[in-house]
Amino acid sequence: MSGTDGTTEQERRSLASSSAVMAAGTTFSRLSGYLRSALLVAALGSALHADLFNVANTIPNALYILLAGGVFNAVLVPQLVRALTRDEDGGDAYTSRIITLAALFLGAVTALLVLAAPLVVDLYFTSELSSPALAEQRDSAVAFARYCLPQVFFYGMFVLVGQVLNARGTFGPMMWAPIANNLLAVGVLVVYLVVFGPVSGDGLAGPYTDGQELLLGLGSTLGIVVQLLVLLPYLRAAGFAYRPRFDFRGTGLGHTLRLGVWTVLFVVVNQVTYWQVTRLATSGPAGSEEGTGVTVYASSMLVAMVPHAIVTVSFATAVLPRLSRYAADGDTGRLATTLSSTMRTSLAVVVPFAALLPVVADDVANAAYGWGAGAGDASTFVPALSLFGLGLVFFTVHYFMLRGFYALEQTRTVFLVQLVHAVVNIAAAVLLVREASARQTAPALVVAYTLAYLVVSALSYAVLRRRLGGLGTPRLVRFAVRLLLVVAVATLAAWLVDVGLGALGEDPHPLVSVGRGAVVGVVDLAALVVLARWLRLREVTDLVDPVLDTVRRRLRAG
């Protein structure tokens, strides 16, 4: 039986099953990631001292994405699916060549980056870090970079192996493996707190000792190594045995690399944006003890991205091989309906979360970051947290549009759209940060982020809709109207409860914030489910009903 949007019930169940496996893994991964983030703030604070490590530790991921991430994440999945279905050996030789070539490339680049660590640090930190007054802080950042830059190789190989598994229908391991990394990072931070203790007020802008640099830097890199090692046994279970292959000519890799040219340009533009935002963010803490920067911006984004990480990525990853098959068969109609249906389901989670975030931002910030060195400074996270939700909605729409372009192998279009994003984001960030105080630096960058994704989500939707001959826009509009009505009422109910619980204090203990935030969230969810069922908002009920059925079965069994 076909669904109303053209997808069969079997396809819906298959997609939901694959997404559920990934969502479960991502949920545990994110929970451990949030614990890691909270411990970082508790140990290092949220000022320049924390930014020295956090920026150096995120540079490897940014550089991996710049050098190879776009090709690995987007271009290779359709190509691996094609090789799997069309090559006589099930794509084994093609996949082995890809892995061999990637390992050689990433290994050489990683070695060069480690040697060039001081130059890399100067690229990503504000020029104020090069002043004589902050010479020791720069030395700490360089030391962290040397310890962390080998992650470029292991990030790349992790994503490549994960995409090989995804192309062969094995989705779970890639989503579960980061848990091992996060748990190891949590262990490292616990050891750090026991051995060195949280940074005191007079050290919030200071450098690190050699022992601190060694523990944090090597501990972070070891986590990425473990993350890769967890995946390797699943390759053979998925029916693939890697054999080094160096016969790269005349094997179809040229087509893959030609597709990758536009994706590389896309990533370059994206990373130029990230680079500029990072430099602007580090100017806040470097310019004032009360400034907000990378730690506040990145930690707020981590919380705001909860539904993206758990729901959107899971659905998008599960649906991309299917979209690629529809594109290869020339079935643009099914591609459009499947993409639109999946996006609506994701928005059914993202939009309510975005609306609730400003209501619970105070409690979320206090519960997550009001410990140790972060005690008393949790309020610095609230403005950025409150503002990120709206940007997440636009980001979600754009994210799904990119999946459609990648399935169609229209990487040139992706690059051109992302070029618009870069121009808008950088221009808005520069203008807003220039007018903002040091404390307002992170919120200003969030506003720039939102403006950029507002523009490109509208642009990418319009372009893909024209390419596919439609994206079910009338149904999407009807869905949006009903969803916004439901969300407005549910969020109002949550806000009234939050106001009623205000008697617990404006600056409560973090555990009180946990309880108050949980009560407000439960009220919001309950109102959302009741109203969605009343208005027959299938995108919401399809997500909630399986969970409720499971709970009922367990209660009856108990």
Q: Provide the 8-state DSSP code for 168.
A: T
Q: Do 221 and 148 meet the contact criterion of CB atoms below 8 Å apart?
A: yes
And the tokens for 261?
Answer: 């040219």
Closest by alpha carbon to 289, among 45, 39, 43, 56?
Answer: 45
Residues 6+ apart with CB under 8 A from 538: none
Give dist(CA 377, CA 367) in Å, integer.
12
Say what the pLDDT of residue 70 is.
57
- As a three-state string, the secondary structure of 195-244 is HCCCCCHHHCCCCCCHHHHHHHHHHHHHHHHHHHHHHHHHHHHCCCCCCC
Q: Do 459 and 417 meet the contact criterion of CB atoms below 8 Å apart?
A: yes
Give dist(CA 544, CA 557) in Å, integer.
20
3-state secondary structure of 8: strand
Instruction: Tell me the CB-side half-sphere exposure of residue 240, using CA atoms within 13 A.
Output: 30
Q: Which residue has the tokens 């051995």?
A: 195
Say what the pLDDT of residue 329 is.
82
CA angle 324, 62, 143 (to 5 degrees): 155
Enumerate residue ranges in the chain where pLDDT < 50: 1-4, 6
From the number of C-beta atoms within 10 Å of its C-beta (0-12, 13-18, 19+), residue 502 rates as exposed
Q: Do 117 and 272 meet the contact criterion of CB atoms below 8 Å apart?
A: no
Q: Do 404 and 468 meet the contact criterion of CB atoms below 8 Å apart?
A: yes
Instruction: Dump pLDDT digits (tens) for 38-77.
Output: 899 999 988 889 999 999 999 998 887 776 665 565 556 6
Q: Do 126 and 283 meet the contact criterion of CB atoms below 8 Å apart?
A: yes
**Alpha-helical regions (H) of 293-440:** 294-304, 306-307, 313-328, 332-369, 382-407, 411-435
Amino acid, single-letter form, for residue 391: G
Cα-flanking dihedrals φ and ψ of residue 552, to 5°?
Answer: -60, -45
Say what the pLDDT of residue 556 is.
72
Say what the pLDDT of residue 1 is.
35
Reported residue count of the chain is 558
And the tokens for 221?
Answer: 């890199």
Q: Provide the 8-state DSSP code for 408.
A: T
Domain residue ranges of the chain, discontinuous segments joined by +: 9-471, 472-558
Give dist(CA 327, CA 378) in Å, integer.
48
Say what the pLDDT of residue 72 is.
62
Closest by alpha carbon to 55, among 249, 252, 279, 384?
Answer: 279
Torsion of CA 33, 34, 40, 45, to 10 degrees: 150
Give dist(CA 180, CA 232) in Å, integer.
14
Q: Provide the 8-state DSSP code for 56.
A: H
Instruction: Dump pLDDT digits (tens) for 274-313.
Output: 889 999 998 888 767 777 888 899 999 988 888 887 777 7
3-state secondary structure of 356: helix
**β partners of residue 8:** 2
What predicted TM-score, i.e. pTM, was given to this entire model? 0.77
